[in-house]
Structure 1
Amino acid sequence: MYFLIIFLQSSDAEEGKSKKGQYEGPDMDLAAMLERDVLDSTPGVRWDDVAGLSEAKRLLEEAVVLPLWMPEYFQGIRRPWKGVLMFGPPGTGKTLLAKAVATECGTTFFNVSSATLASKWRGESERMVRCLFDLARFYAPSTIFIDEIDSLCTSRGASGEHESSRRVKSELLVQIDGVNNSSTTEDGQPKIVMVLAATNFPWDIDEALRRRLEKRIYIPLPNFESRKALININLKTVEVATDVDIDEVARRTEGYSGDDLTNVCRDASMNGMRRKIAGKTRDEIKNMSKDEISKDPVAMCDFEEALAKVQKSVSPADIEKHEKWQAEFGSA
């Protein structure tokens, strides 16, 4: 039985390797680099790992997940969206949502940033964009997630725009346009490639890209219930004292982003350790056991200290700008 399991595991591994080796596009070296740097076949994030944002989850499920589960329904006028843009203040969970989408629908995940597609050689950045979409079609169904897309696709014609930057934008627009118009599987079904993008500056992106990202979803700061859920998710790996009032912490963190709230929980969870090592020498700290350091549960006083130190990172003016852009250009 043991040898059978080993054989099956090695066979699966070889099968995965052979599938990768089957890609035979014009730029094998670029494809190998992209596979190494941006391909993530198992992001491992579920919907339950993302606190709140129920409306954003519903919209993403309708735009991305359901077309993969019900391809016969999403035909003609119901065709899948070419792309989805998630915008909102920093630290609200846009990247986490993208990974959850890829996990929930079982697609191959390409995590791309502007640095990934940058090259000092003339013409290579455009080739990378083309190769990325070729790879995505090869591994279809797949999700291409472009984080901070505003740094890659600012408005064309802006002052100081370099010619190479303009060519990359043009190639990206062409590839998004034809993302699902070619290539079919062996049974005749189209190879579905979904483009997900995220930005903190939606007003900076090119108008033509905004049109191609047909679903534009606002990811707001967490509300009271979402903050409670996020605090519970953050504290699930540590012991919590009975005096901790999660509702009170959630009330006092209004205006905090998801990242801000995580920082509050992290800081509070480390206060017990800080008390334990206070006044001790380096050798004494090294000789302390893990149980000795971590046996103190996180108490309400730890949250009081953390809240006094960790302030919100998103300004009301920033939120107002996002809400104004949502009212003008949002499509969700």
Structure 2
Amino acid sequence: MNPREIADNLTLARENTMIGNYSNAEVLYIGAIEMLNRFMRTIVEPSPKTEWEEALKKVSLEYEGVKRLNQTLQNFRLKTKGDLPIGTRRLCRDEQPVRDDDPDVWPPPTPVEYSNIRGNGPSKSRISNVKKVETKKRDSRVVSSSTSSRRSEILKTKVTKKDERPSSSKSDRDRDQEPVVKTEKTDEPEEKKFECHGMDRELADTLERDIVQKNPNIKWDDIADLHEAKRLLEEAVVLPMLMPEFFTGIRRPWKGVLMVGPPGTGKTMLAKAVATECSTTFFNVSSSTLTSKYRGESEKMVRLLFEMARFYAPSTIFIDEIDSLCSRRGSESEHEASRRVKSELLIQMDGITANNEEPGKVVMVLAATNFPWDIDEALRRRLEKRIYIPLPSLEGREALLRINLREVKLDPEVNLADIAERLDGFSGADITNVCRDASMMSMRRKIFGLRADQIKQLPKEELDLPVTSRDFHEALMKNNKSVSSEDLQKYEKWMNEFGSS
């Protein structure tokens, strides 16, 4: 399939349109659109694909116009019986025209009256000549219609003969109808879409546009350490899809997992890795997504969120900073609307259990928080697994350094193990900031004191220098850890009381 064949087919379709062969032109347009669709599936680059999509739209508009013209012509032929004008009917030989009571209105003349226009009476020779002309016209119409239909069949076979070669056992009629069936079968199956009606359709469109992520593109290898958390998340999501017959009844998958830990330890990245590695639909929810100024709309959005998750199952609903969405109920500062949203969320989380009993229909709520002591007790009960995401260990800090510096040139004298020991008490986000500062130190020293035009003239080789131990030393002097020892004690105390890993 190449653009030349498409252009030839399209030129032939337009020529048939110009001479009035709308049926043939319609068939050729269908073939051109099918060839365009197949050709576009071979294009990978986005810019040429956009141009071909515009061309396809133009060809489709031309096809719709020809189709309407052909339909209008067919309706006109049905209304006009034979060659007589609209509103008249063919009279029998002995039938007399029906006259109106109004003397000013005269009916159309009969064929016999045509012959009396210039003579006293009907001439047999003139009548026979009229009959011969009518017979000749009728025969020519039959021949032209049969020729047109035969030409249409030949063009259909010509357009689609490269896509399919029918076997010799099929009849000619089956061969002529086969290209049309082929066109319907070559269409790709449409992706399933959550359906609802009325006002809920607008809310569902908002949810799909804002929170549905098909592939976050974060893998397990991008997250250092946290082996226990990875094991638990794989057990909650991956294994139920691999062994659905085992995870039934009392062994049903966990319907809720809460990740607790100080900021910057990788809780959000763990959630995205679950969606990427397990090929599940990822719903990234925040308090602003489910908040509306209209009464009752926030509860509807929570309900639609869980209905969509069941529809796209297996799926993962990730609620980041869940303490802001579902804090303790019953406080004096709690608003009535906030309480209704919390109640709807708790009800929908209980409804996930029935869906999880179906094989392969796994819907898991994955939540993360830095303030677990502010979460409502009923929500804490529904989040069955509560795991602690600690600060990275010595091995984890060294792995984090290697992950962050894998795209940067590193001096051979740099000892990552020694740097990892000096980063004790740093979170994963703090270590990333240290690596970012260290990778920019050589560039900062190179451009110090230079003007903007001088900086533009510097070659890339002079700026992209290997990261040295001196760069890490200067970066450590500028960056401090963000988690205090008092915060760690609060997390450990809460996990000792409510942890479930």
TM interval, shorter chain, is over 0.9
In 2, the alpha carbon distance for the partners of 1:84 and 1:241 equals 42
- Higher RCO (CA 8 Å, separation ≥ 6 residues): 1
Pick from 308, 322, 330: which aligns with 1:135?
308
Pick from 313, 327, 331: which aligns with 1:158?
331
1:78 matched to 2:78: no
1:297 matched to 2:466: yes
In 2, the alpha carbon distance for the partners of 1:292 and 1:76 equals 64
Unaligned runs of 5+ in 2: 3-35, 44-48, 50-184
Kept in 2, the 8 Å contact 1:23–1:138? The answer is: no
Task: Return the letter of the residue paired with 2:218.
Answer: V
1:24 matched to 2:221: no
Shift of 1:51: 0.3
In 1, the alpha carbon distance for the partners of 2:470 and 2:252 equals 54
SS at match of 1:146: strand
In 1, the alpha carbon distance for the partners of 2:488 and 2:480 equals 16
Shift of 1:290: 3.0
Alignment of 1:99-178 (within 5 A): 99-178=272-351
1:91 matched to 2:125: no
In 2, the alpha carbon distance for the partners of 1:266 and 1:121 equals 44
TM-score normalized with structure 1 length: 0.93
Task: Return the letter of the residue paired with 1:37.
Answer: D
Q: Indicate the structure (1 or 2) with the bigger Cα radius of gyration.
A: 2
Unaligned runs of 5+ in 1: none
Task: Return the letter of the residue paired with 2:309.
Answer: A
Deviations 1:249-271 (A, max 9, x none): 10000000000000000000010
Q: Which residue of 2 aligns with 1:237?
A: 407
In 2, the alpha carbon distance for the partners of 1:134 and 1:181 equals 13
SS at match of 1:19: coil
Alignment of 1:169-318 (within 5 A): 169-182=342-355, 189=359, 191-294=361-464, 296-318=465-487
Shift of 1:7: 2.7
Shift of 1:190: 5.9
1:44 matched to 2:217: yes
Shift of 1:111: 0.7
SS at match of 1:144: strand
In 2, the alpha carbon distance for the partners of 1:30 and 1:128 equals 7
In 1, the alpha carbon distance for the partners of 2:390 and 2:452 equals 44
**Closer, same or farther: CA 251–182 of 1 in aligned 2, 3 Å:** closer
Kept in 2, the 8 Å contact 1:228–1:247? The answer is: yes
Q: Which residue of 1 aligns with 2:498?
A: 329
Runs of 4+ in structure 1 off by over 4 angstroms are 1-5, 8-16
TM-score normalized with structure 2 length: 0.62
What is the aligned-residue RMSD (CA, Å)?
2.2
Kept in 2, the 8 Å contact 1:180–1:191? The answer is: no
Return the structure number with greater helix share: 2
Paired residues in the alignment total 326
Kept in 1, the 8 Å contact 2:241–2:360? The answer is: no
In 1, the alpha carbon distance for the partners of 2:367 and 2:324 equals 12
In 1, the alpha carbon distance for the partners of 2:39 and 2:467 equals 43
In 2, the alpha carbon distance for the partners of 1:125 and 1:140 equals 22
**Closer, same or farther: CA 327–183 of 1 in aligned 2, 3 Å:** closer
Deviations 1:58-84 (A, max 9, x none): 111112221122111101110111100
In 2, the alpha carbon distance for the partners of 1:261 and 1:13 equals 50
In 2, the alpha carbon distance for the partners of 1:97 and 1:25 equals 35
Kept in 2, the 8 Å contact 1:50–1:93? The answer is: yes
In 2, the alpha carbon distance for the partners of 1:112 and 1:12 equals 38
Shift of 1:12: 12
Shift of 1:112: 0.8
Shift of 1:8: 7.0
Kept in 2, the 8 Å contact 1:224–1:251? The answer is: yes
Kept in 2, the 8 Å contact 1:180–1:192? The answer is: no
**Closer, same or farther: CA 5–220 of 1 in aligned 2, 3 Å:** farther
SS at match of 1:84: strand
SS at match of 2:354: coil
Kept in 1, the 8 Å contact 2:237–2:362? The answer is: no
Deviations 1:98-157 (A, max 9, x none): 111111111010111111111111111111111111111111110000000000010000
In 2, the alpha carbon distance for the partners of 1:232 and 1:113 equals 32
Q: Share of identical aligned residues, percent?
A: 63
